[in-house]
């Protein structure tokens, strides 16, 4: 058949499907709903009211059903990648259009009713997706297409998408009897409920330690002023801007011990049982699916491939890091011995931050409070923008009077530096408030996807909890805050710069144990003089950070690098242990495992009576996958070695990174992308150098 005729027929089919969706009398588009927007229009978050998320969710799920019906109505003989696989991706894009902003609202909106509605929406959508993944008719449609001549000849991202989809069906129980698939569905739905409850309990938890003037001694005056109570005490809550400085600077051992105890018992009353339920249900799931453990199930479709590779990675890392950890502890013990007048043999968990700060000050003459003076939030933002814009040839334009969910939130548009075309958008929600998500993360709002109308412009929201400006001083960031900012913004650009044709591969939709690598790589710019000099300016005088201070910071970079990395190994091993053979109904509790592994792997003894696992949120979303943080760092540092060699502001290498790593998303295997960027096989040499181990 003539190619032009084929094209006309295909366009006619697409138009017919679109018209069918728009004219479907059973799917009524809700009017004036901030979460239901036209193609490439922005959300009117300021107008969001109770009921909007619920109605938008109902609409997209009904629309998804209509799209599903279209796929199932196609005769098997007529199936193609475009009318079956692409349209499956359309279903997920339809759902994601409400799921992403709704979930963001559940984590950031000030109104409890809207936050709860966002969680309810997420729960309903997750259950819908579970049902969809277990839909036998859809499975048969994909299976039928997979046997076609076209399917056998697929290449590139199309072949990968078909292969990944078939593997997902296997992982959902297809190939098993129907009664087992029904059991899988029930387990998935229960896990969804448990996971949402686990996260909500952490977010909702509130606690405060009230301390005296003597106990807050060592903290900056502005910190004290912000927390002073009418009765003369000071309120230290569990948010990071409150908790971390107190643990680092309070001279009161008892107060730090009390605060650590409270912090490591967040959500303990509710989440220990929830966590036990999550682990039990995951065991039940893999038993039905005929995997040995949940860890085997989770690693199957990731870079690691199997649990053995993860255990080898963690054990190898642990042995290589231990000598550096011993050196780190020895340095702190000298300071503790001198301070206490006795020969110290242990650094307790409530002393780690405090003695690290003393070590930085005494050995390197580095005062973190002095460093903060050079990292005012707006200056850091401007400098970060400069680095990212220059490297990736993009331009950020601030949106005036954006429609946002809180007055602190800023909005920007992203333009391509060469074509001047709009690429995407992002939001910044950077300061803590009551009931807001308590960590730092990039949330999808709209995901990229190639459609018949053109490319859907992606939008990402960056949610952080940096110190908020007060009447006493502006927002001054610690160097760790700056590193976090660069890291999370790396996730943001990964989402916004995507050019993946399918939403399923857009942005950070990559193998879970690789997802941190692109953003971890971009942390390195906060350790380089050339980039720091762009934005590290004293908040009062405007003076650029002096070389002397920069030299001290860089010299002190690997202070406690061993103990900190071992802490990450501990988290990864804890997570993997709980999911690779552990029986929650056996003799050992999760807390027993926490105590045992903390004492074995880290140099900080377990604090009796604490249950950190109750608020270890990654056990939910990252179950059997936390190892990915260090795993991905190996690849991150290897990729950064190219910039070390060619220049950290080398625009040619920045564009290669954008094109090869960021734009492609999950369209290719991560190892192939890394190999293409490096021009060689990856190795761990740069990672070990970055830790001060070589």
Residue 319's CB is within 10 A of a number of other CB atoms, namely 9
Residues 125-171: tens digit of each pLDDT: 999 998 999 899 999 999 999 999 999 999 999 999 999 999 999 99
Residues 481-507: tens digit of each pLDDT: 999 999 999 999 999 999 999 999 999
The answer to whether 43 and 425 have CB atoms below 8 angstroms apart is no
**Under CATH, which architecture does the 3-133+135-171 domain have?**
Up-down Bundle (1.20)
Strand 441-446 to 410-416 pairing: unpaired
Q: What is the pLDDT of residue 14?
A: 38
For residues 213-228, average pLDDT = 96
Q: How far apart are CA 164 and CA 667, in angstroms?
A: 11
Residue 7: pLDDT band (50, 70, 90) is very low
The answer to whether 628 and 298 have CB atoms below 8 angstroms apart is no
Residue 28: pLDDT band (50, 70, 90) is confident
Residue 694: pLDDT band (50, 70, 90) is low
For residues 459-480, average pLDDT = 94
Q: How far apart are CA 691 and CA 559, in angstroms?
A: 10
Share of the chain above pLDDT 90, in %: 88
Q: How far apart are CA 253 and CA 255, in angstroms?
A: 6
Query: Where do you find CATH 1.20.1050.40 in the chain?
Result: 3-133+135-171
Q: Which of 56, 514, 5 is nearest to 303 (CA)?
A: 514
The answer to whether 359 and 332 have CB atoms below 8 angstroms apart is yes
The answer to whether 641 and 484 have CB atoms below 8 angstroms apart is no
| 12 pLDDT more than 50 | no
Residue 24: pLDDT band (50, 70, 90) is low
H runs (alpha helix) in 499-650 = 517-522, 529-532, 547-555, 561-578, 590-601, 618-621, 628-646
pTM confidence score:
0.83
Residues 559-569: tens digit of each pLDDT: 999 999 999 99
488 is catalytic: yes
| 297 pLDDT more than 70 | yes
Q: Which helix (DSSP H) or strand (DSSP E) does residue 523 occupy?
A: none
| 610 pLDDT more than 50 | yes
Residues 48-72: tens digit of each pLDDT: 999 999 999 999 999 999 999 999 9
Provide the token pair at 575: 């997570």
Cβ partners under 8 Å of residue 680, min gap 6: none
Q: Which helix (DSSP H) or strand (DSSP E) does residue 561 occupy?
A: helix 561-578
Residue 6's CB is within 10 A of a number of other CB atoms, namely 10
| 472 pLDDT more than 90 | no
- Catalytic residue, from 296, 413, 488, 663: name it: 488
Q: What is the pLDDT of residue 26?
A: 62
Q: Which of 540, 524, 512, 559 is nearest to 649 (CA)?
A: 524
Query: Interior CA angle at 121 toward 196 and 414, to 5°?
Result: 95
| 39 pLDDT more than 90 | yes
| 443 pLDDT more than 60 | yes
Q: What is the pLDDT of residue 18?
A: 41
Q: How far apart are CA 28 and CA 63, in angstroms?
A: 9
Q: What is the pLDDT of residue 19?
A: 39
Residues 165-207: tens digit of each pLDDT: 999 999 999 989 989 999 998 999 999 999 999 999 998 999 9
| 547 pLDDT more than 50 | yes
The mean pLDDT of the chain is 93
The answer to whether 198 and 278 have CB atoms below 8 angstroms apart is yes
| 607 pLDDT more than 80 | yes
Q: How far apart are CA 445 and CA 98, in angstroms?
A: 8
Cβ partners under 8 Å of residue 635, min gap 6: 514, 517, 670, 674, 682
Q: What is the pLDDT of residue 311?
A: 98
Residue 610: beta bridge partners?
Answer: none
Q: What is the pLDDT of residue 29?
A: 87
Q: How far apart are CA 549 and CA 556, in angstroms?
A: 11
Q: What is the pLDDT of residue 2?
A: 40
Residues 619-671: tens digit of each pLDDT: 998 899 999 999 999 999 999 999 999 999 999 999 999 999 999 999 999 99
Burial 147-156 (b: 16+ CB within 10 A, else e): ebeebeebee
Q: What is the pLDDT of residue 3?
A: 35
């Amino acid at each position: 058949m003539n190619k032009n005729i084929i094209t006309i027929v295909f366009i006619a089919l697409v138009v017919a499907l679109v018209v069918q969706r728009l004219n479907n009398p059973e799917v009524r588009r809700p009017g004036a709903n901030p979460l239901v927007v036209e193609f490439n229009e922005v959300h009117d978050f300021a107008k969001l009211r109770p009921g909007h998320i619920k109605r938008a969710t109902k609409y997209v799920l009904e629309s998804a059903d209509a799209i599903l019906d279209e796929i199932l109505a196609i005769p098997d003989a007529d199936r193609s990648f475009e009318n079956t696989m692409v349209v499956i991706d359309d279903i997920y894009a339809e759902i994601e259009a409400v799921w992403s902003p709704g979930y963001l609202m559940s984590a950031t909106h000030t109104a409890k009713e809207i936050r709860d509605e966002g969680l309810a929406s997420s729960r309903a959508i997750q259950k819908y997706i579970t049902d969809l993944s277990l839909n036998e008719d859809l499975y048969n449609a994909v299976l039928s297409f997979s046997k076609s001549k076209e399917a056998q000849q697929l290449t590139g991202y199309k072949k990968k998408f078909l292969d990944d989809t078939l593997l997902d069906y296997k992982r959902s129980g297809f190939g098993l009897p129907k009664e087992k698939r029904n059991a899988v569905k029930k387990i998935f739905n229960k896990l969804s409920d448990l996971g949402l409850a686990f996260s909500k309990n952490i977010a909702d938890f509130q606690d405060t330690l009230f301390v005296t003037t003597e106990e807050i001694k060592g903290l900056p005056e502005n910190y004290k002023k912000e927390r002073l109570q009418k009765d003369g005490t000071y309120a230290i809550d569990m948010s990071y801007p409150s908790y971390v400085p107190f643990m680092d600077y309070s001279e009161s051992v008892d107060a730090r011990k009390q605060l650590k105890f409270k912090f490591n018992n967040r959500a303990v009353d509710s989440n220990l049982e929830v966590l036990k339920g999550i682990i039990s249900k995951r065991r039940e799931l893999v038993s039905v699916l005929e995997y040995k453990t949940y860890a085997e199930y989770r690693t199957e479709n990731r870079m690691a491939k199997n649990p053995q590779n993860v255990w080898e990675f963690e054990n190898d890392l642990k042995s290589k890091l231990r000598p550096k950890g011993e050196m780190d502890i020895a340095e702190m013990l000298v300071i503790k011995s001198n301070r206490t007048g006795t020969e110290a043999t242990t650094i307790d968990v409530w002393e780690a931050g405090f003695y690290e700060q003393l070590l930085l000050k005494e050995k390197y003459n580095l005062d973190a409070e002095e460093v903060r003076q050079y990292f005012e939030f707006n200056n850091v933002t401007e400098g970060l923008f400069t680095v990212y814009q220059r490297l990736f040839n993009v331009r950020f334009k601030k949106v005036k009077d954006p429609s946002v969910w809180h007055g602190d939130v800023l909005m920007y548009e992203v333009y391509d530096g060469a074509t001047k075309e709009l690429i995407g958008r992002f939001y910044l929600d950077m300061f803590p408030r009551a009931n807001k998500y308590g960590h730092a993360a990039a949330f999808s709002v709209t995901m990229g996807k190639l459609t018949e109308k053109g490319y859907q412009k992606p939008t990402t929201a960056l949610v952080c909890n940096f110190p908020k400006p007060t009447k006493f001083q502006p927002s001054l960031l610690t160097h760790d805050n700056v590193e976090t900012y660069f890291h999370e913004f790396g996730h943001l650009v990964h989402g916004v710069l995507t050019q993946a044709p399918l939403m399923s591969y857009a942005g950070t939709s990559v193998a879970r144990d690789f997802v941190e690598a692109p953003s971890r790589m971009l942390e390195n710019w906060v350790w380089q003089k050339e980039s720091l000099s762009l934005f590290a300016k004293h908040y009062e005088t405007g003076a650029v950070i002096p070389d002397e201070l920069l030299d001290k910071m860089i010299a002190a970079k690997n202070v406690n690098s061993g103990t900190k990395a071992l802490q990450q190994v501990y988290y990864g091993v804890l997570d993997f242990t709980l999911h690779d053979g552990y029986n929650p109904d056996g003799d050992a509790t999760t807390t027993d495992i926490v105590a045992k592994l903390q004492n074995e792997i880290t140099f900080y003894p377990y604090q009796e009576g604490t249950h950190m696992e109750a608020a270890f949120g990654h056990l939910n979303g990252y179950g059997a996958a936390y190892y990915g943080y260090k795993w991905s760092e190996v690849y991150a540092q290897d990729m950064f070695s190219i910039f070390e060699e060619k220049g950290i502001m080398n625009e040619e290498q920045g564009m290669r990174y954008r094109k090869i790593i960021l734009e492609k998303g999950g369209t290719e295997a991560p190892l192939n992308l890394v190999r293409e960027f490096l021009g060689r096989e990856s190795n761990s040499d740069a990672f070990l150098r970055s830790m001060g181990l070589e």
